[in-house]
Every structure is written in C-alpha cells, then in structure tokens.
C-alpha cells in the first residue's frame, strides 16, 4: 500500500467516523429535546391537575360551609 493510499484510507475512515459522530450527536440532541418536551408536558399536566384539585377542594369547602350554615340556621 502506497503512502497516498494509506492517507486516502485514513481520510475515508476519519470521514466515516465524523459522520457516525455527527449522527450520534444528532440522535442525542433529538432524545434530549424529546425528554425536555416530555418534562414540559408533564409539568403542564401537573399544573392542570393542581388547578382542578384546588377548584374541587374550594367547592367542597363552600358546600361544607353552606351545610353547616343551614344546620345552624344562618341561611
């Protein structure tokens, strides 16, 4: 194998390694973006659940106060 062939082979292997590295990096970035999107969606779901829980607790509280008021005879 001549020196030029060796250099060409080294260059080809380097280019293949670069492509693999870039593809791996792109896959990692895509996975990271997907994970971040999932976390954002989970936090939105949690926020909605917390709001719904707060509303239901408030409604139960109002109903409880109304019931006690009726029992006492205020209303």
Is the predicted pLDDT of residue 75 greater than 70, yes or no? no
The answer to whether the CB of 13 falls within 8 A of the CB of 5 is no
Half-sphere exposure of 64 (CA within 13 A, CB side): 6
Task: Kindly report, residue by residue over 16-72, the tens digit of the pLDDT.
Answer: 767 767 777 777 778 878 888 888 888 888 888 888 888 888 988 888 888 888 888
pLDDT for 29 equals 77
Does pTM top 0.85 for this prediction?
no
Coil, helix or strand at residue 2: coil
């Amino acid at each position: 194998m001549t020196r030029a062939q060796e250099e060409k082979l080294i260059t080809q292997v380097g280019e293949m390694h670069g492509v693999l590295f870039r593809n791996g990096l792109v896959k990692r970035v895509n996975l990271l973006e997907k994970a971040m999107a999932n976390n954002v969606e989970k936090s939105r779901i949690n926020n909605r659940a917390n709001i719904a829980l707060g509303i239901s607790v408030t409604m139960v509280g109002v109903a409880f106060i109304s019931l006690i008021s009726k029992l006492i005879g205020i209303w």
